[in-house]
């Protein structure tokens, strides 16, 4: 079970920050309202709240939708179909009434079997404080279900079947070179789908899915999938506007309404039904990444590293964590110096670049080595003179250096000249404004004018011309080459993007946020 306590909710932020007056046995006192957000998968949620499993009657925690039993393959399953008339939402009073009825009758009442120990937590309301985990529900749930249906040989007569095109799709997947921000390179779907991690489904859903499926999946099904892609992107952003929430709600309504029509009632399980509640969850608690189970699943790996034997496993985990905390506290007591810096570097989970390996440029740091450019073409000199407003002769007198990578805006921007990026593409960059009609560049190398501390990216410039799917998912777009040998001032470099080349077309996909990592 993964449970996350998140210390703010929209309706209670003011109370949490300022305190509230409550009556206590000792009189009126000012206390802080602590709001508990709980994130868990469906199986754990049913156990914690003492309610029906995800395939049971009235299994939804947020509304009183009973669901219907439909045929699925050789058996049956419970479906939660789309309804024009929305089911009654649960409230604290309705849940208390259902629990009371279940205790008295010793039978399940509207999805609840009885009381839950969670009710003893302060300020806890099930339907408000339990969030929806998109990792289990939308990645390992809906996205994996889509891929399984599309390639399952049992569905060969269905219009959405693309199993016979799987080799072409896998070829596209394996040709994609991702930025260093995505740690897992794309793997083939064939014979690998059951081994994909949740982060791989996330990357496929947000970045690779539409370019890989375009031309293979029928347009109607592709557009429905694009609704799901855009909705997920909107709710994963670092900043979500009121318009984004309204747009996501509309897309989810359309997606939920069309699922049964295109794929059958059996597909509309509780994960699909939960999308009707996800926008309210984001409105209350923030972006999906803020309370997903990715952090807990990641920490499970750290725990497993602490286990070295089969006996006294809990003791090994405890002492490993305890020893790390002791070291962290002892390091704080050391005097500043090389021993303290060395220990900090050893204990740090991230690889940091030493300041001695950096040279200061214009709103960036240039990472060494820097090589002097002895032979500079006339065209390059002319372009530099225009950008820095100097005569060509004066530019020739400056020290012109060449670098392969820089640091800026929390990113390391690589270039094609860097030998370590053959399997990755960390040189395709989005600009913060149009430059000569281009807003995407692929960096060949960096030019640093040492005397002036001015830095430029020697690049190929591209312009975004259209969306991959018309009217959907604006973060995935086709590119058109506009300029070669374009010199771009480094302050215009904004953030990395995912670049894909499919059937001779250049395509980019933007990141929704830079908080989540594989």
Distance between CA atoms of 485 and 467, rounded to whole angstroms? Answer: 26
Mean pLDDT of 240-252: 94
In the chain, where the domains are located: 10-131, 134-291, 298-347, 358-509
Task: Label residue 4 by pLDDT band (50, 70, 90).
Answer: very low
pLDDT, position 251: 94
**Residue listed under structure tokens 């920050």:** 17
More confident residue, 426 or 15: 426
Distance between CA atoms of 264 and 177, rounded to whole angstroms? Answer: 36
pLDDT, position 36: 54
Residue 441 near residue 459 (C-beta atoms within 8 A): yes
Mean pLDDT of 466-476: 93
Distance between CA atoms of 445 and 28, rounded to whole angstroms? Answer: 67
Task: Label residue 420 by pLDDT band (50, 70, 90).
Answer: low
Q: Six-digit token pair at 471?
A: 């009217």
Pairing of strands 38-39, 130-131: parallel
Whether residue 75 is predicted with pLDDT greater than 70 in this model: the reply is yes
Mean pLDDT of 314-321: 83
Mean pLDDT of 255-266: 92
DSSP 8-state assignment for residue 335: P
List pLDDT tens digits, range 25-38.
333 333 333 345 67
Q: What is the CATH number of domain 358-509?
A: 2.30.30
Residues 6+ apart with CB under 8 A from 180: 412, 414, 424, 426
3-12, 102-111, 159-168, 437-446: least confident range: 3-12
Whether residue 453 is predicted with pLDDT greater than 50 in this model: the reply is yes
Strand partners, 372: 401
Whether residue 16 is predicted with pLDDT greater than 90 in this model: the reply is no
pLDDT, position 358: 78
Task: Label residue 330 by pLDDT band (50, 70, 90).
Answer: confident
Percent of the chain with pLDDT over 70: 90
CA distance from start to end of the chain: 21
Q: Six-digit token pair at 73?
A: 């393959």
Mean pLDDT of 53-73: 91
Percent of the chain with pLDDT over 90: 56
Task: Label residue 6 by pLDDT band (50, 70, 90).
Answer: very low
Whether residue 249 is predicted with pLDDT greater than 90 in this model: the reply is yes
pLDDT, position 457: 94
Q: Six-digit token pair at 312?
A: 């006294």
Residue 442 near residue 427 (C-beta atoms within 8 A): yes
Whether residue 484 is predicted with pLDDT greater than 80 in this model: the reply is yes
pLDDT, position 443: 95
Whether residue 299 is predicted with pLDDT greater than 50 in this model: the reply is yes
Instruction: Specify burial of residue 55 (Cβ count, 10 A radius: 0-12, 13-18, 19+).
Output: middle
Whether residue 497 is predicted with pLDDT greater than 70 in this model: the reply is yes
Mean pLDDT of 52-72: 91
* DSSP states along 283-312: HHH--GGGG-THHHHHHHHHHHHT--SSSS
Distance between CA atoms of 299 and 306, rounded to whole angstroms? Answer: 11
pLDDT, position 2: 43
Mean pLDDT of 42-53: 90
């Amino acid at each position: 079970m993964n449970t996350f306590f998140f210390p703010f909710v929209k309706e209670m932020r003011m109370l949490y920050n300022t305190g509230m007056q409550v009556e206590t046995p000792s009189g009126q006192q000012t206390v802080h309202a602590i709001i508990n957000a709980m994130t868990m998968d469906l199986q754990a949620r049913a156990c914690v709240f003492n309610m029906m499993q995800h395939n049971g009657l009235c299994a939804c925690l947020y509304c009183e939708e009973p669901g219907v039993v439909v045929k699925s393959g050789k058996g049956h399953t419970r479906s939660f179909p789309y309804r024009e008339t929305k089911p009654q939402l649960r409230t604290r009073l309705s849940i208390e009434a259902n629990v009371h009825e279940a205790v008295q009758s010793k039978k399940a009442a509207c999805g609840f079997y009885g009381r839950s120990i969670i009710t003893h937590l302060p300020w806890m309301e099930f339907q408000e404080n339990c969030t929806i985990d998109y990792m289990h529900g939308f990645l390992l749930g809906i996205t994996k279900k889509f891929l399984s249906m599309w390639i399952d040989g049992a569905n060969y007569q269905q219009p959405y079947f693309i199993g016979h095109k799987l080799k072409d799709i896998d070829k596209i997947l394996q040709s994609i070179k991702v930025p260093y921000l995505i740690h897992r390179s794309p793997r083939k779907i064939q014979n690998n789908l059951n081994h994909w991690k949740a982060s791989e489904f996330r990357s496929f859903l947000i970045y690779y899915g539409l370019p890989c499926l375009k031309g293979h999946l029928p347009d109607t099904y592709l557009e429905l999938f694009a609704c799901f892609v855009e909705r997920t992107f909107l709710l994963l952003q670092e900043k979500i506007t009121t318009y984004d929430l309204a747009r996501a709600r509309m897309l989810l309504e359309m997606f939920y309404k069309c699922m049964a029509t295109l794929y059958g009632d059996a597909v509309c399980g509780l994960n699909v039904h939960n999308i009707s509640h996800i926008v309210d969850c984001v409105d209350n608690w923030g972006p999906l990444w803020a309370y997903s189970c990715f952090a807990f699943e990641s920490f499970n790996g750290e725990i497993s590293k602490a286990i070295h034997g089969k006996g006294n496993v809990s003791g090994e985990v405890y002492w490993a964590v305890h020893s790390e905390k002791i070291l962290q506290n002892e390091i704080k007591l050391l005097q500043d110096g090389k021993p303290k810096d060395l220990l900090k570097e050893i204990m740090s989970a991230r690889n940091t670049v030493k300041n001695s390996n950096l040279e200061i440029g214009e709103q960036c740091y240039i990472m060494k080595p820097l090589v002097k450019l002895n032979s500079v073409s006339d065209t390059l000199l002319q372009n530099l003179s225009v950008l820095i407003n100097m005569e060509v002769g004066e530019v020739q007198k400056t020290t012109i250096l060449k670098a392969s990578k820089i640091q800026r805006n929390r990113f390391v921007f690589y270039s094609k000249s860097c030998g370590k990026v053959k399997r990755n593409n960390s040189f395709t960059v989005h600009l913060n404004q149009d430059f000569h009609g281009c807003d995407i560049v692929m960096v060949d190398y960096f030019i640093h004018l040492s005397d002036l501390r001015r830095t430029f990216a020697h690049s190929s410039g591209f312009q975004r011309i259209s969306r991959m799917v018309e009217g959907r998912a604006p973060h995935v777009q086709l590119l058109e080459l506009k300029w070669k040998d374009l010199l771009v001032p480094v302050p215009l470099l904004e953030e990395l993007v995912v670049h894909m080349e499919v059937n001779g077309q250049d395509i980019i996909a933007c990141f929704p946020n830079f908080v989540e990592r594989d």
